[in-house]
Chain A
Amino acid sequence: GIQVEQSPPDLILQEGANSTLRCNFSDSVNNLQWFHQNPWGQLINLFYIPSGTKQNGRLSATTVATERYSLLYISSSQTTDSGVYFCAANNNDMRFGAGTRLTVKP
């Protein structure tokens, strides 16, 4: 099955800083999603982005399907952005990366 790798595994930021999270996948996909898992364990949909670029407030994402990677940008980070960010790719069944644990300090 498809392999999904995320980097960095951990990220610590000061409030107000910007960050870029990366997701590499090993094969062509028909679905690529970014999720935020909050401290209560909920998986919140951020982007459904098999290709192209999308923006939602302070967050944006870009997927370059031909080069098999996706990027999640977080600008002007807030403490509420803390948690684990997962990338998941699907070409037959959904495979998740190991996640990036983001800590935003006040």
Chain B
Amino acid sequence: DSGVTQTPKHLITATGQRVTLRCSPRSGDLSVYWYQQSLDQGLQFLIQYYNGEERAKGNILERFSAQQFPDLHSELNLSSLELGDSALYFCASSRESGGGEQFFGPGTRLTVL
């Protein structure tokens, strides 16, 4: 158990819908990262927040957004969902803002029908 929690574990929804994925980092970690793992694109970095502020941005679509709240939990919002958004979404956390060891949550498996 990495100490990073993610909810829900599974999510099934329809095209065009909007969903919210939630992540709680390890105790004491200030950075939260979101990743997408799909069959065709592999594991891709989406976005990082450090202590409530956006720190780095990767291959995140405009339809996706994230935020980190004062209690340091984070949410990833996915809207106007398409079939191709079906993937495993991971959250990770670390102590530092950059370069430190990252610990991954169990992931949320999203299926868009």
B64 within 8 A of A: no
* A window 23-53: CB within 8 A of B: 30-31, 33, 35, 41-43, 45, 48, 50
Q: Are B107 and A93 in contact (CB under 8 A)?
A: no
Chain A binding surface, main DSSP class? strand
Number of interface residues, chain B, beta carbon within 8 A: 22
Q: How far is the CB of A6 from chain B (nearest CB, A)?
A: 11
CA distance A15 to B27 in the complex (A): 38
Tell whether A92 pairs with B42 under 8 Å between CB atoms, given A33-B101, A42-B106, A45-B104: no
CA distance A88 to B92 in the complex (A): 13
Q: How far is the CB of A76 from chain B (nearest CB, A)?
A: 26
Contact code string B28-55 (vs A, CB < 8 Å = 1, else 0) = 0000010100000011110010000000
A86 within 8 A of B: yes
Q: Are B98 and A90 in contact (CB under 8 A)?
A: yes
B88 within 8 A of A: yes
A12 within 8 A of B: no
Report 25 cross-chain contacts, Cβ distance below 8 Å, ordered by A residue.
A30-B98, A31-B99, A31-B101, A31-B102, A35-B104, A41-B88, A41-B107, A42-B104, A42-B107, A43-B90, A43-B107, A45-B2, A45-B104, A90-B98, A90-B102, A92-B56, A92-B98, A93-B45, A93-B48, A93-B58, A94-B45, A94-B102, A96-B42, A96-B43, A98-B42
A contact residues vs B (CB 8 Å cutoff): 30-31, 33, 35, 41-43, 45, 48, 50, 86, 88, 90, 92-96, 98-99
Q: Which 3 A-B pairs have the closest CB atoms?
A: A30-B99, A48-B101, A96-B43
B contact residues vs A (CB 8 Å cutoff): 2, 33, 35, 42-45, 48, 56, 58, 88, 90, 98-104, 106-107, 109
Given contacts A43-B90, A94-B102, list 17 more A-B pairs with CB under 8 A.
A31-B100, A31-B102, A41-B106, A41-B109, A42-B104, A42-B106, A42-B107, A43-B107, A90-B99, A90-B102, A92-B98, A93-B45, A93-B48, A93-B58, A94-B45, A95-B45, A96-B44
